[in-house]
């Protein structure tokens, strides 16, 4: 039997929807009380198929997923969820089942608790994961915002570059990723190794010097005078420096 200490944290949470995948009716009832008392909106599924149906028709913020379930177990469910969703997952494992905890994390679970556990620990872990998810979503929204520099506009979502007159400029994938990296780190000297990392692997070829070719092509497209190199400066023994002021569009 699951030992839940029925503690209520002093600060109520927002109405985040928590889906508990748990086949034990007694544990489900106890979890429902704890989640509601702490300001969450609990939903329950006893099997993988019930969970799938709920996920199709409801917006869920976090999943509390028991490992031991009839039919498809929690580890298989976790693996399947991670193939299409980044929803936060807390695995629930039996005490001492180290292999289940390790496998759960390797399959994409964000956290785990072991039975028996108390409500204060579970609520703290749920809140921490929801904060991380909110922060990650805010970061993604921020990184998706179009940016402007010297009259130019670069849109990370559409992957488009427009010159000061509004004309769209054609860039290769590698050129776009490099220019976007510069725009996200203006006024900072970036080495070739850093640019490889920041360009997210979009560069052609394994040799760092290939960056020089891509940057040369970018310069030909954005520099007022390609011979002057006022926007992308070469820093001897350092790398490259993007000089324009970059602002949100």
Residue 15: both structure tokens together? 């109405």
The reported pTM is 0.56
pLDDT tens digits, 167-193: 999 888 888 989 999 999 999 999 988
Contact 122, 3 (CB under 8 A): no
Instruction: Provide the 3-class DSSP secondary structure of residue 221.
Output: helix
Q: Indicate the Cα dihedral angle 175, 179, 184, 187, nearest 10°.
A: 140
Q: Which residue ranges form the domains of the chain, and what is each CATH number? A: 17-141 (3.40.50.2300), 147-248 (1.10.10.10)
pLDDT tens digits, 30-77: 999 999 999 999 999 999 999 999 998 888 999 999 999 999 999 999
The distance from CA 166 to its chain's CA centroid, rounded to whole angstroms, is 32
Given a cut of 60, whether residue 206 has pLDDT beyond it is no
Residues, the chain, total?
Answer: 249
pLDDT tens digits, 129-156: 898 877 766 666 667 889 999 999 999 9
Check residue 185 and give its pLDDT: 93
How far is it, in rounded angstroms, from Cα 181 to Cα 8? 45
Q: Indicate the Cα dihedral angle 243, 245, 248, 249, nearest 10°.
A: -100
Instruction: Provide the 3-class DSSP secondary structure of residue 224.
Output: coil
- H-only helix segments in 83-172: 98-106, 119-143
Looking at every residue in the chain, the average pLDDT score rounds to 85
State the first-to-last Cα distance of the chain, in angstroms, to the nearest integer: 56
Q: In what order do the strands lie in the sheet with 89-94?
A: 41-45, 17-21, 62-66, 89-94, 111-115
């Amino acid at each position: 039997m699951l030992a839940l200490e029925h503690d209520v944290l002093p600060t109520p949470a927002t109405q985040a929807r928590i889906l508990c995948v748990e086949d034990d009716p007694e544990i489900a009832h106890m979890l429902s009380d704890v989640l509601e008392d702490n300001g969450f909106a609990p939903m329950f599924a006893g099997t993988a198929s019930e969970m799938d149906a709920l996920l199709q028709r409801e917006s869920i913020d976090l999943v509390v997923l028991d490992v031991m379930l009839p039919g498809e177990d929690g580890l298989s469910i976790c693996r399947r969820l991670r193939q299409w969703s980044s929803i936060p997952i807390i695995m629930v494992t039996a005490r001492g089942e180290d292999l289940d905890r390790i496998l759960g994390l390797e399959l994409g679970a964000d956290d785990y608790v072991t039975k028996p556990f108390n409500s204060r620990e579970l609520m703290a872990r749920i809140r921490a994961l929801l904060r991380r998810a909110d922060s990650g979503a805010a970061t993604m929204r921020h990184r998706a915002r179009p940016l402007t520099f010297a009259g130019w506009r670069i849109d990370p979502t559409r992957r488009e570059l427009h010159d000061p007159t509004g004309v769209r400029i054609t860039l290769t994938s590698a050129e776009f990723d490099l220019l976007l990296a510069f725009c996200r780190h203006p006024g900072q000297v970036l080495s070739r190794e850093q640019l490889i990392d920041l360009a997210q692997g979009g560069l052609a070829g394994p040799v760092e010097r290939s960056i020089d070719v891509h940057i040369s092509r970018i310069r030909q497209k954005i520099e007022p005078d390609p011979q002057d190199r006022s926007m992308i400066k070469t820093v001897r023994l350092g790398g490259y420096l993007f000089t324009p002021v970059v602002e949100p569009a």
